[in-house]
C-alpha cells in the first residue's frame, strides 16, 4: 500500500512513514507522482487522503470515503461536449460510482455551486490519482476530511483547520482497512 496526499500539513505525523508520499497540489503534480510511485513501488493498493470542501449538505463534516471522481474543470461544452467529459476519450466522465462524488479541479473552490449536480465534495487531486490507478490497474481508495464548505470563507476555514484531528480519523480508517 502507498498513501498519497497533496501536502505534508494534511498528514502531520504520517508523512514520516516510508509508504506515505506527498504529491504536491493539483492534478498535474498528482498524476506525475502517482504514476512514478506506482511504477516504482508496485503497490497492491493506492490510498489518497486529504482535505476537501463540501458542496453538499449530506457531507458537511467528518471523514468520507469517496466512491466516484470527475474532472470538475473540464468544460468543452462550447464545442458540443457534455461538461466534465474529456473530448475524444472512450471512457465515462465518472470514474467509480456516484454515491459520494469528488469533483477534482485545479482551483480552490469558494463557490459551492461551481461543481453542479452529482458532486458532493471538491478537491484538487483525487480524479487524477483515480485515473492513473484505473489505467495502471491498481485498486484505489480515497478518504477526504471535510475542511470547509467551499464557500467565501473556505480559505480561512482551511487555513485554520485542525489537520491532526483529521489525520487521527484517517489512521483509525487505515487500521480498519488492515483488518478487512
CATH of the domain spanning 2-175: 3.40.50.1580
Contact (Cβ atoms closer than 8 angstroms) between residue 104 and residue 123: yes
Q: Please say if the pLDDT value at position 106 is more than 90.
A: yes
Percent of the chain with pLDDT over 70: 98
Q: What's the confidence (pLDDT) of residue 29?
A: 98
Query: Mean pLDDT of all residues in the chain?
Result: 93
CB atoms within 10 A of CB 74: 20
pLDDT in tens, 61-78: 899 999 999 999 999 999
Q: Return the pLDDT at 61.
A: 87
- Is residue 141 scored above 70 in pLDDT? yes
Mean pLDDT on 151-174: 91
Residue showing cell 461538461: 83
Tens of pLDDT along 121-139?
A: 999 999 999 999 999 999 9
Q: Is the pLDDT of residue 50 over 70?
A: yes
Quick one: pLDDT band at residue 58, thresholds 50, 70, 90?
A: confident
The whole-angstrom separation of Cα 155 and Cα 146 is 13
Phi-psi category of residue 27: left, alpha or beta, with phi > 0 → left and psi -120 to 50 → alpha:
alpha
The per-residue pLDDT for 120 is 94
- pLDDT at residue 90 tops 70: yes
Amino acid at each position: 500500500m502507498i498513501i498519497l496526499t497533496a501536502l505534508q500539513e494534511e498528514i502531520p505525523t504520517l508523512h514520516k512513514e516510508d509508504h506515505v508520499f506527498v504529491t504536491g497540489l493539483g492534478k498535474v503534480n498528482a498524476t506525475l507522482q502517482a504514476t512514478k510511485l506506482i511504477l516504482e513501488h508496485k503497490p497492491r493498493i493506492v490510498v489518497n487522503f486529504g482535505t476537501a470542501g463540501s458542496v453538499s449538505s449530506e457531507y458537511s463534516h467528518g471523514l468520507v470515503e469517496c466512491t466516484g471522481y470527475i474532472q470538475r474543470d473540464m468544460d468543452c461544452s462550447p464545442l458540443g461536449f457534455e461538461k466534465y467529459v474529456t473530448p475524444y476519450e472512450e471512457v465515462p466522465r465518472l470514474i467509480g460510482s456516484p454515491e459520494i462524488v469528488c469533483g477534482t479541479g485545479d482551483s480552490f473552490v469558494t463557490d459551492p455551486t461551481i461543481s453542479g449536480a452529482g458532486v458532493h465534495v471538491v478537491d484538487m487531486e483525487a480524479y487524477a490519482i483515480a485515473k492513473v490507478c484505473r489505467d495502471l490497474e491498481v485498486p484505489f481508495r480515497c478518504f477526504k476530511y471535510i475542511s470547509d464548505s467551499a464557500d467565501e470563507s473556505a480559505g480561512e476555514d482551511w487555513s485554520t483547520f485542525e489537520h491532526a484531528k483529521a489525520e487521527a480519523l484517517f489512521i483509525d480508517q487505515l487500521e480498519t482497512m488492515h483488518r478487512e
